[in-house]
Amino acid sequence: MADRIRLGFIGANVRATWAAQSHFPALLASPDVELTAVCTTRRETAEAAREAFGAKLAFTDFREMVVSNEIDAVAVVVRVPAHYEPTRAAIEAGKHVYTEWPLGRTTAEAEELAALARARDVQTACGLQSRVSPALLYMKEQIEAGFVGEVLSCHADCMRDGALERPSSRTWQRDASLGANPLTIANGHVIDALRFVVGNFTRVSAMLTTQARQWYETDTKKMVDVTAPDNILVSGKLASGAVASVHVAAVPWAGGGLRMVIYGREGTLMATGNVSSQRGEMLRVQGAKRSHELSDMPIPDRFVWLPPEFPRGDPFNVGQMYRLFAEAIRTGQTQSRLPTFDTAVDLHRFLDTIRQSSDTGRELPVA
């Protein structure tokens, strides 16, 4: 295998918003991964991606791409309902796979993909990139080192933009059954970041509501019904004994960024970022040790695994992910710092418990 991992990218449309913000700039700057092949559903968009990114190969059928001997690994960066088929095909072809979060439309899909990957002995990554955020890695280290002492309580919130008017091409997420909505995506990233920093919940109580029950489609001129939750309120108790709360919502105007605060017997730690920081990108870390004044805490270089010229902003944590993914493929050993399909399954199951708590109106234990 060459020094750089040869990657086939499914969902390589140059106009794909999330991929264009993060994966493409991360891959083009990556010292570890070469964007060798691209795949979209149409020949013209596949060729446009091949030219734009300097890829060697372009495909319109992922089944053809995943069996190519010219790629070592596959990235699946398409809409959530379409994650399952290409991910499964890549695993069955013996390719290592990086699939965006949520791993599957349902927990059952995620469990099946994780089990298949273990059986075929391929390396996996799932896009829970807050787990490789330098800021959150630093916070986790400081908590474990006793900066705040015994953790007493913690809170995270993120109010994302949630337009009430959008074209019909962007209203598919209104359907809760498709697995891509504020509960799974924005809340999934935020609550996973909190769990990564302070530990898992043991008991949880939740309320999911859909405050905006209809959206206006600007092209069809129709109001469409929304079943996906747009406000997620979670409270509970952690394994450490601390209490925790999370509020994530899609709001019509002037959404705010991520805020995570850890309160301990000896001090406080806080991470804040702008509206795109739900995945742990470019956070500011502040702390107070036996003080009521928060001070900035510079993030040590040891949590940065990329060269100085690597772009900051949204691509950064995705770049950190690709570095660990490449290392796992080269060594044949899963990296403990890399969120894998098994990490994703654990979060899928936790979100199921949150949903069940809301549906029943009961506090529930977390497995």
Res. 262: pLDDT tops 80: yes
Residue 275: its pLDDT value, please?
72
Buried b (16+ CB within 10 A) or exposed e, 186-207: bbbbbbbbbbbbbbebebbbbe
CB neighbour list of residue 319: distance below 8 Å, 6 or more residues apart: 26, 29, 30, 306, 310, 311
Cα dihedral 97/100/103/104 (nearest 10): -110
CB neighbour list of residue 30: distance below 8 Å, 6 or more residues apart: 4, 319, 322, 323, 326
* Residue-wise pLDDT tens digits, 55-78: 999 999 999 999 999 999 999 999
Calculate the average pLDDT of the chain.
Answer: 96
Cα dihedral 180/182/184/186 (nearest 10): 120
Q: What would the two tokens of residue 289 be?
A: 């040790």
pTM, two decimals, is 0.96
The DSSP output letter for 169 is G
The whole-number average pLDDT for the span 117-130 is 98
The whole-number average pLDDT for the span 225-240 is 98
* Residue-wise pLDDT tens digits, 103-115: 999 999 999 999 9
Full DSSP string of 171-205: -GGG-GGGS-STTTTHHHHHHHHHHHHH--EEEEE
Res. 122: pLDDT tops 60: yes
Residue 15: its pLDDT value, please?
84
Q: Are strands 33-39 and 96-99 parallel, antiparallel or unpaired?
A: unpaired
Res. 155: pLDDT tops 50: yes
Least confident of 15-24, 273-282, 302-311, 325-334: 273-282
The whole-number average pLDDT for the span 79-101 is 98
Residue 1: its pLDDT value, please?
43
Residue 2: its pLDDT value, please?
52
The residues that bridge with 99 in the sheet, in sequence order, are 76, 126
Category of 313 on φ-ψ map: left (φ > 0), alpha (ψ -120 to 50) or beta: left
Least confident of 16-25, 42-51, 353-362: 16-25
The DSSP output letter for 284 is E
Could you give the percent of the chain with pLDDT greater than 90?
91
The whole-angstrom separation of Cα 203 and Cα 201 is 6
Q: Distance between terminal CA atoms of the chain? A: 40
* Residue-wise pLDDT tens digits, 272-298: 998 777 888 899 999 999 999 999 999
Query: Are 146 and 248 a contacting pair, CB within 8 Å?
Result: no
Q: What would the two tokens of residue 15 be?
A: 């106009």
Q: What would the two tokens of residue 159 be?
A: 């109010």
Query: Are 216 and 165 a contacting pair, CB within 8 Å?
Result: yes
Least confident of 131-135, 229-233, 255-259, 286-290: 255-259
Using the structure block, give the residue that is written with the tokens 């702008």.
274
Q: Indicate the residue type of 147.
A: F
Burial category of 74 from C-beta neighbours within 10 Å (exposed 0-12, middle 13-18, buried 19 and up): buried
Q: What domains can be seen in the chain, in order of their start residue?
A: 5-122 (3.40.50.720), 130-303+348-360 (3.30.360.10)
Residue 16: its pLDDT value, please?
76
Q: What are phi and psi of 327, to 5 degrees?
A: -65, -40
Using the structure block, give the residue that is written with the tokens 């060697």.
56
